[in-house]
Amino acid sequence: MIIKKLTLLLFICATASVFGQYQVTIEAFVMDKSTKQPLEFANINFQGKSINAISGANGQFTLVYDEEAIGDADVFQCSAFGYETLTVKAGLLFKLLTNSNKIFLKPKAFILGKSEEMKGNISGTVVGPSGPIQGATIRIKNSFNEVQSNVDGAYKIDAQEDDVLVISYLGMIERQIMITKDTTIKIEMESDGELLDEVLLEGEKKVEKIVETGLGKKNADAVGFSVNTITSDDISVGALTLADVIIGKFAGVRVMGLNTMTAPRFLIRGGGGSINNPIPAIFVVDGMIYTEMPEFLNLDQIDKITILKSVGSTNRFGTVGSGGAFLIKMKVGLPIVKKPVNKALIKGNEYLEELALIGDTQETPPYIVQLERAKSYEEALKLYSAQKRYNKQLRIPYYLDVSEYFTKWDKDFAYKILTGIAEVTYKNPKALKILAYKLEQIGKLEAAKQMYQRIAVLRPKHAQSYRDLALIYEANGNYEEAMDLYGKMLNKSIEGVDFSGLDKAINNELKHMLAVHREKIDCSRIDAEFLKADFKYDLRIVFDYNDPNTEFDLQFVNPKKKFFRWSHTKFDNRKRLLDEIKNGYHSEEFVIDDAKAGEWIINIECLSEEPPMNPTYLKYTVYKNYGLPTETKEIKLVKLYQQQQKVTLDRFLYQ
């Protein structure tokens, strides 16, 4: 039986319970006061109470609570990213809602007049050798104005004459185009030629060389670069050494020291060094690097050999690869040895390195060096004002570094600097993701929730948007909203979004929430598989990065000094990177459970170079006793773009 508690419309009503108490239900809509449009992801709650809701796509929300839980003096709050927070006492709220079921939020100055719809004065398509490119990044150089091409390769962006468009996509050569009076620009991308494969055409006995691009395999002739791969069929039966296999098979390759007592050196045209002191190429056999020719290889077991020229090799292997590389793929994994070999020449997965810790390798930025000279808060403020005055377009690292510096003087002011990122990057999800990571790290979970909600508005077809929301909803106590998202993700019921790349993480995170917060969740509709009482992991490590295009390597070293490598590169993990870009996710988890005790080491190396305006950061999260009452959680924010040399990210004892 529904009884009207006040002379209100149906959006506030009270239901009598079995015990004579009333359950109050508030149903209303949150709207933009300027545009009168509904607001999705508005956060509604009573301060100090576990009574909350989040508005849906049509701006509607429902709050349900026991009558005795809220008094007239309790404070109702409605907030959304980019809007002034509305606070009103419950008694006055009831009076306001007698006349209307709409709550209007006033937009802040930095979003006034801005629409979420895809529009811009410059438009066009991004195409590659195989057709339209989905997920290409189009940005205005030296700005935070950035968009992505849609499934048809179409884009729209606001730009002015003489602005420079920068277009990038995995496996394609970056392009820069100056804006003229033309408002429609078709952008044609070319493969960078670093990823090669081959296809045998049966019947013609002909090897058709194929380029492995970000959009599939293309004939090398169609993309205009020389053949750089040979297969086992190209290896002469008379070849006795690896040098015999290589000589004469590749254009632009010459050999030095062939008839000497030392191993021959191969030089690839365009390699590093000088004319008088060229740098020889390295050899990479199934991922293992050799600076000298690996003479012990069984030639019969070679599947293919591919040249990687200087730029690509340096990006992939660092300075050791600046002379280029011969990438050798064996037919059966590890090379088979024909004759006795000096074991010191064979590099397995034994870990022998001693690397610097990540914090010891980073130079202090000059603007922080300047600020650290300040003897007082007032002096620091003057220096900060001068820096802003002389730098009209501040970079994302500047906001984070300066905010951290000012925490020793004034934490509120430091937080104001940090959240300034949101105002200048209102439509840039990559930058907003960095801010969300940092807000999580410092415990500002409600503010982090608003950032993730904003990103979901900007990237509604990205799987990561919903997974991040589910996690931050749980962290903020929005358990029903988190459960609703997990249900939609696992049931694949969000149209146009593919969650398969995140299935493992989503399953673990739902099981974790049910293990830790089961008494706060309605479990009546949950599959028994997710309700197992024994869910736990000794250690769960999660890497989140704000740009799936960024290439990097992770190396895990166990207590026996054996290492495992996980590669986020287009050479080693191309399908994964393309799937991330297409479906919009950028996260990976690793679990250590019931393993032998001892020290573990995690090393990291970034293999991409990118502009410093809005670079890639990595959120490194370590859960110990995951799923147990003794669980701990630690978040580190890493400047991934700076780790151009391999460094140790973390060392910890597993017991």
* Cβ proximity of 405 and 372 under 8 Å: yes
State the chain's maximal CA–CA distance in angstroms. 101
Angstrom distance (rounded) from CA 557 to CA 325: 26
Q: Is the model more confident about 172 or about 252?
A: 172
**pLDDT higher than 50, residue 414:** yes
User: For 276, what's the count of Cα atoms within 13 Å in the CB-facing half-sphere?
Assistant: 0
The pair of three-digit structure tokens given for residue 345, joined into one six-digit string: 């020449």
* Per-position DSSP letters for 631-650, written without gaps between them: -EEEEEEE-GGG--S-EEEE
Query: What average pLDDT does this structure show over 158-176?
Result: 91
* Cβ proximity of 644 and 610 under 8 Å: no
**pLDDT higher than 70, residue 114:** no
The pair of three-digit structure tokens given for residue 319, joined into one six-digit string: 């300075």
* Per-position DSSP letters for 421-464, written without gaps between them: HHHHTTT-HHHHHHHHHHHHHTT-HHHHHHHHHHHHHH-TT-HH
Looking at domain 122-188, which of 2.60.40.1120, 3.30.70.870, 3.10.129.10, 3.30.450.20 is its CATH number? 2.60.40.1120
Query: What average pLDDT does this structure show over 7-33?
Result: 66
Domain boundaries, the chain: 2-111, 122-188, 228-345, 366-654
Q: Is the model more confident about 310 or about 52?
A: 52
Angstrom distance (rounded) from CA 472 to CA 50: 16
The position carrying tokens 């048809």 is: 152
Range among 122-131, 309-318, 394-403, 528-537 rated most confident: 394-403
Q: Is the model more confident about 590 or about 308?
A: 590
Range among 7-16, 237-246, 281-290, 497-506 rated most confident: 497-506
Percentage of the chain beyond pLDDT 90 is: 52
Query: What average pLDDT does this structure show over 468-492?
Result: 94
**pLDDT higher than 80, residue 102:** yes
Answer whether 0.85 is exceeded by the pTM: no
Q: Buried (b) or exposed (e) across 237-276, using 16+ Cβ within 10 A?
A: eebeebbebbbebbeebebeeeeeeebbbbbbeebbeeee
3-class SS of residue 500: helix
pLDDT band at 406 (very low <50, low <70, confident <90, very high): very high
State the burial class of residue 160 (Cβ atoms within 10 Å of its Cβ: 0-12, 13-18, 19+): exposed
3-class SS of residue 405: helix
Q: Which CATH class is domain 228-345?
A: mainly beta
Angle at 550 between CA 545 and CA 556, to 5 degrees: 65
The backbone torsions φ and ψ at residue 231, rounded to the nearest 5 degrees and listed phi first, read -115, 180
The pair of three-digit structure tokens given for residue 599, joined into one six-digit string: 């020290």
Range of lowest pLDDT (282-296, 359-373, 526-540): 526-540
* Cβ proximity of 590 and 505 under 8 Å: no
* pLDDT of amino acid 270: 60
Assigned fold of 2-111: Immunoglobulin-like (2.60.40)
**pLDDT higher than 70, residue 503:** yes
Q: In what order do the strands lie in the sheet with 146-148?
A: 146-148, 137-140, 164-168, 175-178
Mean pLDDT (the chain) is 84
* pLDDT of amino acid 521: 83
Query: What average pLDDT does this structure show over 456-476?
Result: 96
Angstrom distance (rounded) from CA 260 to CA 242: 15
- Other beta carbons within 10 angstroms of residue 625's beta carbon come to 15
User: What long-range pairs does 563-569 form, CB within 8 A, spacing at least 24?
Assistant: 563/349, 563/350, 563/351, 564/349, 565/287, 566/590, 569/316, 569/607
Q: Does domain 366-654 have CATH number 1.25.40.10?
A: yes
CA distance readout (Å), 286 to 280, 289, 328 = 19, 9, 6
| Contacts of residue 544, Cβ cutoff 8 Å, sequence gap at least 6 | 437, 586, 587, 618, 619, 621
Q: Is the model more confident about 128 or about 212?
A: 128
Angstrom distance (rounded) from CA 217 to CA 215: 7
Sign of the Cα pseudo-torsion (161, 164, 166, 172, in order): positive
**pLDDT higher than 90, residue 323:** no
**pLDDT higher than 80, residue 389:** yes
Strands 187-188 and 122-128: parallel
Whether 366-654 and 2-111 are alike in CATH topology: the answer is no
| Contacts of residue 117, Cβ cutoff 8 Å, sequence gap at least 6 | none
CA distance readout (Å), 417 to 111, 391, 413, 491 = 18, 15, 6, 41
pLDDT band at 494 (very low <50, low <70, confident <90, very high): very high
pLDDT band at 581 (very low <50, low <70, confident <90, very high): very high
pLDDT band at 94 (very low <50, low <70, confident <90, very high): confident
- pLDDT tens, position by position, 635-653: 999 999 999 999 999 999 9
Angle at 524 between CA 521 and CA 529, to 5 degrees: 90
* pLDDT of amino acid 330: 85
Percentage of the chain beyond pLDDT 70 is: 84
| Contacts of residue 350, Cβ cutoff 8 Å, sequence gap at least 6 | 561, 562, 563
Range of lowest pLDDT (194-203, 517-526, 613-622): 194-203
* Cβ proximity of 511 and 627 under 8 Å: yes
**pLDDT higher than 90, residue 519:** no
User: For 505, what's the count of Cα atoms within 13 Å in the CB-facing half-sphere?
Assistant: 22
**pLDDT higher than 80, residue 319:** no
The backbone torsions φ and ψ at residue 566, rounded to the nearest 5 degrees and listed phi first, read -115, 120
The backbone torsions φ and ψ at residue 504, rounded to the nearest 5 degrees and listed phi first, read -60, -45
**pLDDT higher than 90, residue 459:** yes
**pLDDT higher than 70, residue 135:** yes
Q: Is the model more confident about 110 or about 439?
A: 439
pLDDT band at 332 (very low <50, low <70, confident <90, very high): low
**pLDDT higher than 70, residue 197:** no
CA distance readout (Å), 233 to 200, 245, 501 = 10, 11, 36
The backbone torsions φ and ψ at residue 301, rounded to the nearest 5 degrees and listed phi first, read -100, 5
User: For 357, what's the count of Cα atoms within 13 Å in the CB-facing half-sphere?
Assistant: 5
